[in-house]
Amino acid sequence: MSVDERMQQVVREVIGNDDLVLRDDMTARDVPGWDSLAHINIMYSLEAEFGVQFSDEQLSSFQDVGELRRFLASAAG
Amino acid sequence: MAAVSATAVPSLRACLDLAKAHQRAGDHARAAQWALAATDAGDDFAGWLGASRVWERARPHLPAAARRARVAVLGSYTTTQFTSLLPLACARAGADVEVYECGYGLYRIEVLDPASGLRAFAPDVVVLAVHEGEVDLPESSDDPEAAVEAELARWTSLWEQVRAATGARIVQHNVVVPAEVPLGHLAARVPGSRHAMLQRFNQRLGELAASEAGRGVSVVDCERLAGAVGKRAWTDPRYHHAAKQAVALGSVALLARHTAAVVGAQLGLARKCLVLDLDGTLWGGVLGEVGPHGIAVGAGPVGEAYSAFQRHVLALKAKGVVLAVCSKNDEALVREAFEQNPDVLISLDDVAVLKASWEDKPSAVRSIAATLGIGEDALVFVDDNPAEREAVRELVPAVDVVPLPADPSGYVRALADYPFFETDAVTAEDAARTEQYRARAAVAAQQEAAGSLDDFLAGLDMHAEVADLSPENAPRVAQLIGKTNQFNLTTRRHSLADVEAFAADPAWTAQVVRLRDRFADHGVVGVLLARCEDGADGRVVDVDTWLLSCRVIGRTLEDEMLRVLVERAGALGCARVRGTYAPTAKNSQVAGLYERLGFLPRGADEDGTTRWELPLPARVETPGHIAVSVAAPVPARRGGGTEHEDAHEGAHEDEQGTRRTVEVAK
């Protein structure tokens, strides 16, 4: 699976929406259910999926899905 | 046989995909079965979340579980994830549970408050999910024994309070002793170090739980679980600091599984009988080919691994697990191996039922249950052959099947990780005593609760500091405005820019409240923003925003804030305080706040918004549990006041412009 697909699968699993399609310009606000608790769950699950570790700041600083995806692609690639 | 054993156990992902596929096809029983199988396949957090959702959707369609229970989770950290995985974990243990999660950090209050959600929930089981930071022991002590006993008394009295308030059984998580030790190795020989005291605390907690004081208390040995996965995997400081996750999400599933096993044991759901294969499971080699003295056991690396497994099995037997053998073999040969090979540690006397025949294993397993007169759901089947495991799993689904790894060196770990042999020392007699205790306690609780909540709050030694808005605290204020949902009267989400504008506007008066108690400095946890308006019938102070962080709800801080507000409003020449309650999905707990504080109703809107007024002067009586100090440079420079606040400084402590700190007597 590509980085995009793996990332989408993690977010789908955590949010509980198997039809969710992520786009780069999305923010948490655009995704129903992506609240502060889900955010922590998502960040942790992405770390587990990609074998990466976000910095303290990154846990809350990604601007949108695109920035998060690009980081994962570069860190896991 | 070696060829088949390469077949892997289905992964969590595969189980989850199957569960979802069955759910889409409308087969709820299969969906639930695979969701539960997913919990055996790993601890991946997202996978467990997915499995939990499948199971919750299937749940209404499933036959009633053997046991039902109402389980309340009282936590000292963010337990939302733990609580959301617990029903699935309990279902795996055989119990259908409803869960209740106590508000963050509120567990001691919810136990004492007769009107708490916990009391209303009426739990059968209370899980005390606490972390090391909640243990009130210093970095070092001159009298460590006394310090630990004093701290333990706080916990045993909490147990008493839980029992008195709810009659529930208690499941206590013990604490994980941090891997970061300031004293280094010296801590291991200094009993007064926090490190050593925490170890002692855990040990004594277990002793007390097993004593008369702990009747009905079970312990989940988190220290052992954390040690097994590694303490650095158990706690991730990034998530602890960012989101109060004292248990890393990668370990939450493990914690839920083991908590469920202990809850299940309390409910009498523990498995009773271990059904063992022989060739490749208790010893290496095929008995029929190599004979009773040719099997691998005892000497050599492979033999030692099988011996270690046998010793583990014997230890299970010693704690009460019944052993049975289920082997496709010639019975006479099997008996010979047990009786004549001295390296076979398990003897035939240890085995309650010996089934050595060429019968298929599912049938043999069923007949073992029948012979012992116990249900199939009391059996645990252990076999190195994945095909046999699959056959039993498929045809006798009530039996638990432990997947062994390919190498015998991993057998002990695989069986030790299987959690449902957990036993509870409490007998049926004790259970009846618990019932009597519950009835008696319910009466006593009503009489005592009010007084004891006051005692608890008074014992917290709370100090509040009330400040005005400042450049330093504005970001925290904006953050609280943005995220506080429960104790929030109007839920107006002002931005940081708005807050800064209020700070500069003399019409606004603000309270930014820090609270500390004997356990922690909670930081800024309360905000009240009000605006002075001049109307036809005099000046009124209108409360725009009033919120408390959920970690200090129930501490009577709101009463103190009102008192400060009323004093200030009086000093500002106001005739009334006006308040608004705007209902949201989450703030119903403050719907009655203004009424409780003595405000008069002044109408309601169609959306449920209510308006309130308190005529001034008013006398505000507070419970007096919090020592309040007010640092109050109220910049209400109305009517051409001077730039210099000091110019207003006067004799009156509450007069606008003073910088004096006023310690208000209790």
What is the pairing mode between strands B521-535 and B508-516? antiparallel
Which among B46, B78, B243 is the nearest to A13, CB-wise?
B46
Distance separating alpha carbons of residues B398 and B388, to the nearest angstrom:
15
CATH number at residue A43: 1.10.1200.10
Compare CB distances from A41 to B53, B81, B242 and report the shortest one's residue: B81
Q: What is the pLDDT of residues B244-283, one digit of tens each?
A: 999 999 999 999 999 999 999 988 888 989 999 999 999 9
A44 located within any domain: yes
Q: Kindly tell me the burial class for residue B433, based on how many C-beta atoms sit within 10 Å of its own C-beta (0-12, 13-18, 19 or more).
A: middle
Is pLDDT above 50 for B145?
yes
Cβ-Cβ contacts under 8 Å, A53 against chain B: 238
- Indicate yes or no: CB of B45 within 8 angstroms of CB of A45: yes
- Interval B407-424: pLDDT, tens: 999 999 999 999 999 987
Percent of chain B scored above 90 by pLDDT?
70
Name the band, by pLDDT with cuts 50, 70 and 90, for residue B429: very low
Q: Give per-residue pLDDT as tens, A20-55.
A: 999 999 999 999 999 999 999 999 999 999 999 999
CB B478 within 8 A of CB B524: no
Q: How confident is the model over B95-119, as pLDDT tens digits?
A: 999 999 998 888 889 999 999 999 9
Determine if the peptide bond prior to B617 is cis (ω within 30°). yes
Interface A-B, measured as beta-carbon pairs within 8 A, has a size of 49
Q: Say if residues B38 and B91 touch (Cβ distance below 8 Å).
A: no
Is A34 within the bounds of a domain?
yes
Phi, psi of B79 (to 5 degrees): -105, 10
Selecting from A10, A18, A60 the residue whose C-beta is nearest the C-beta of B46 gives A10
What pLDDT shows up at residue B645?
Answer: 39
Residue with tokens 């089981």: B125
A8 occurs within a structural domain: yes
Residues B326, B277 contacting (CB under 8 angstroms): yes
CA angle in degrees (0–180, nearest 5) for B212-B205-B318: 75
Q: How confident is the model at residue B554 (pLDDT cuts 50, 70, 90)?
A: confident
Average model confidence (pLDDT) across chain B: 87
Rounded to an integer, what distance in angstroms lies between the CA atom of residue B329 and that of residue B332? 9
Residue A9 lies in a domain: yes
Q: Report pLDDT for B424.
A: 72
**Average pLDDT of B466-476?**
90
Residue pair B172/B152 in contact (Cβ under 8 Å)? The answer is no
Mean pLDDT value of segment B27-31: 95
The pLDDT of residue B632:
60
Q: What is the pLDDT of residues B315-373, one digit of tens each?
A: 998 888 899 999 999 999 999 999 999 999 999 989 989 999 988 999 999 999 988 88
Mutate to test the interface with A, among B20, B49, B88 (most CBs of A within 10 A): B49
Could you give the 3-state DSSP secondary structure of residue B503? helix
A10: containing domain: 3-72
Contact status of B14 with chain A (Cβ, < 8 Å)? no
In a domain, A48, yes or no: yes
Residue B450 above 70 pLDDT?
no
pLDDT at B635 over 80: no
For residue B401, give every residue at least 6 positions away whose Cβ sits within 8 Å of its Cβ, in sequence order, or none.
Answer: B380, B381, B382, B383, B389, B392, B393
d(CA A9, CA A7): 5
Residue A77 forms part of a structural domain: no
B contacts of A49 (beta carbons < 8 Å): 46
Q: Is residue A45 part of a domain?
A: yes
β-pairing, B125-129 vs B169-173, is: parallel
B545 contact A CB<8A? no
In chain A, how many domains are there? Answer: 1
Provide, as residue numbers in chain A, all residues whose Cβ is less than 8 Å from the Cβ of B81. Answer: 37, 41
The model carries a pTM of 0.72
A41 touching B (Cβ < 8 Å): yes
Q: Does B53 touch chain A (CB under 8 A)?
A: yes
B13 touches chain A (CB under 8 A): no
**pLDDT for res B239:** 95
Rounded-to-integer distance, Cα B279 and Cα B289, Å: 11
